[in-house]
Structure 1
Amino acid sequence: MATRAAPQQFDPETYTGSNPKVYIVRGMERFRKAKVQESISDFDRALQLSPALGPYLWQRGLSLYYADRFAEGAAQFRLDVSVNPNDTEEAIWAFACEARTLGFQEARKRLLKVGQDTRPYMRTAYSLFQGSTSEQDLAMVGQTDDRSHFYANLYLGLYAECREEVDLARHYIGLAVGSKYCATGDYMCSLARVHQKVRGW
């Protein structure tokens, strides 16, 4: 009697097939490990296989930011907001990309208009980048709970980076990484750690 061959185990690290979802998941895992360039390759492959995914690959935009490919990152985030006009975070990340290429004031002029976010810390973060509230206001909102504390400090750090205030950015990102919420599996918690690693902090 012929013996059946043992089924091959699926290994996402060596995957070369045509399922875009596998590349997105692998790209996210690679980004979490600060393998930024590799993550972009995976997101680009997913996009090549399924161009319709373009407006939904916000993860690609984040990777592009940390690869210093700011113009491409801004284009990705602007495309994302075009199909989700209530996405506060992607509007802010488009701002961050454009601040690095066009300057802080020009980025503020170009800040995408979005609907009102249901999360108080994101509403306040957006207002900060817009110029209608202060860093102190966002820090105060961050005292509400662990999640708010993390996000307030993450976006205070990004805001400081946009203003080229390196020491302040390092301080706030450090607070975000050290927050209790950063022990969760939130992708943005991984991003805060990647931020530190890429910047050499």
Structure 2
Amino acid sequence: MNAAQAPFTTLQFYAFLLLSGVFCFPVWAEETDLHQERHRAAIQTARALVAGQPAPPAGSLVGLADALLRGGQYDEAVTSFERAIERDPQSEPYLWQYGIALFFAGRYDEARSLFEKHRVVNPHDVENAAWHFVCVAKADSVSKAREILLPAPGDSRAPMKAVLQRLQGGDFEAIDAAVEKNRGTPSYASAEFYGNLYIGLIADAEGNAEVASEHLRKASQSELTHYMADVARVYANWIDTQH
């Protein structure tokens, strides 16, 4: 996600993890045990940090929730995000990650509400509009999702403009073309990843399980190791349990 700035306490937590070496990620090598070990280490460190504080601050709880979500433990992640919001209610609109965790937990209406709140603080993020779209489609219908599609102007990342247009209907050719336009450039791996992720998400919203599973699996096999790459791996596994 092209996220708005998070509370400083959360940034402090990530600084701790970086210094501890937990987030010095290994290069992707298709063996899922590498990812599993990475997430186990991150969750263990985050749990220890929270347990070591009599009244853990919101930032530590968000850090634990992030580690849990990236490791596929989205129900526990929801609980930790909710504890963080209790500590710091003003942080809620910034926690797009909480919306994704709610989505995987099947709490689509609550996730939709979170993404609507996030748009207030981050109005140009097409990813936010896409996650809102799939939540409304799951809770109501695709037509309703298109009717209340969130605006997200000015997201210059490839292929976000094409993704936003595709949320309104049509085929996936424009997304594929936007990705292909970046072939041979340093941004190609990112464009390819996001193209697969959001083709998969849109196909899921539209009830096309075969296309959704195919593209989410491709996204999950990306060499990237950032937050959304981990979300894609969670999504690819999650969708297989839904059909």
- TM-score, length-scaled by structure 2: 0.74
- Hey, what does 1:171 align to over in structure 2? 214
Amino acid at match of 1:156: I
Instruction: State the distance in 1 between where 2:228 and 2:110 align.
Output: 20
Which structure 1 residue ranges, 5 or more long, are not aligned? 1-8
Q: CA RMSD in A?
A: 1.7
Aligned: 1:158 with 2:201: yes
Which of 96, 109, 118 does residue 134 from structure 2 map onto? 96
Classify the secondary structure of the residue corresponding to 2:167: helix
Q: CA deviation at 1:185?
A: 2.6
Please give the residue correspondences for 1:40-189 in structure 2 after superposition, counting only pairs within 5 Å: 40-131=78-169, 134-143=171-180, 144=182, 145-179=188-222, 183-189=223-229
Which structure 2 residue ranges, 5 or more long, are not aligned? 1-44, 183-187
Q: CA deviation at 1:199?
A: 2.5
Contact 2:213 2:240 in 1 (8 A): no
For each residue in 1:124-167, what CA deviation from the matched residue of structure 2 results, as whole angstroms up to 9, or x when unmatched? 11111023x63011012223211100000000000100110001
Aligned: 1:194 with 2:234: yes
Classify the secondary structure of the residue corresponding to 1:120: coil
Which has the higher relative contact order, 1 or 2, with Cα contacts under 8 A spaced 6 or more apart?
Answer: 2
In the superposition, relative to structure 1, how do residues 185 and 13 fare at CA in structure 2: closer, same or farther (>3 Å)?
farther
- Hey, what does 1:6 align to over in structure 2? none
Which one has the largest radius of gyration?
Answer: 1
- TM-score, length-scaled by structure 1: 0.88
For each residue in 1:44-90, what CA deviation from the matched residue of structure 2 results, as whole angstroms up to 9, or x when unmatched? 01100000001101000000010110000000000000222212211
> How many pairs align?
189
Moved >3 Å (runs of 4+)? none
Identity of aligned residues (%): 28
Classify the secondary structure of the residue corresponding to 2:56: coil
Contact 2:50 2:56 in 1 (8 A): no
Instruction: State the distance in 2 between where 1:48 and 1:13 align.
Output: 15
